[in-house]
Amino acid sequence: MTVEFETEALAEIENAISYSEGRFGTGERLSRAIRSVVLMIAEDPFRLRITHIGVCIHHLPPFPFYLVFEPRKDERIIRIYALGNTSRHPDYWKSRTNSLP
């Protein structure tokens, strides 16, 4: 399936990698973890549980981040909405979706 990123999600990824590298020296590890998850969900997006609002949330341990994405089977697209931070409000990204409740 094709993976598409919301502009805000790409900015969050770049900022998280930059911050992780500058603060902890772990930016490259975070980048690899994100890349690995994106490849995994592109291969089989339905292996993860879909929440009641139609998205999947995949945590990236040991990092305090998670990817929010929506697999669209009919369009063969996976839409990544956010790289969330566990210390931020959990629903801040919902306004980025136009098809979810």
Phi and psi at 73, nearest 5°, equal -60, -45
Measured CA to CA, the distance from residue 93 to residue 56 in angstroms comes to 13
Q: Considering the entire predicted model, what is its pTM?
A: 0.88
Q: Which pLDDT value is given to residue 95?
A: 81
Q: What is the chain's mean pLDDT, rounded?
A: 91
Helix (H, G, I), strand (E, B) or coil at 83: strand
- Please check whether the domain covering 2-86 is classified as CATH 3.30.2310.20: yes
pLDDT-derived band at 52 (thresholds 50, 70, 90) equals: confident
Enumerate the domain spans of the chain. Answer: 2-86
- Give me the phi and psi of 39, to 5 degrees please: -65, -40
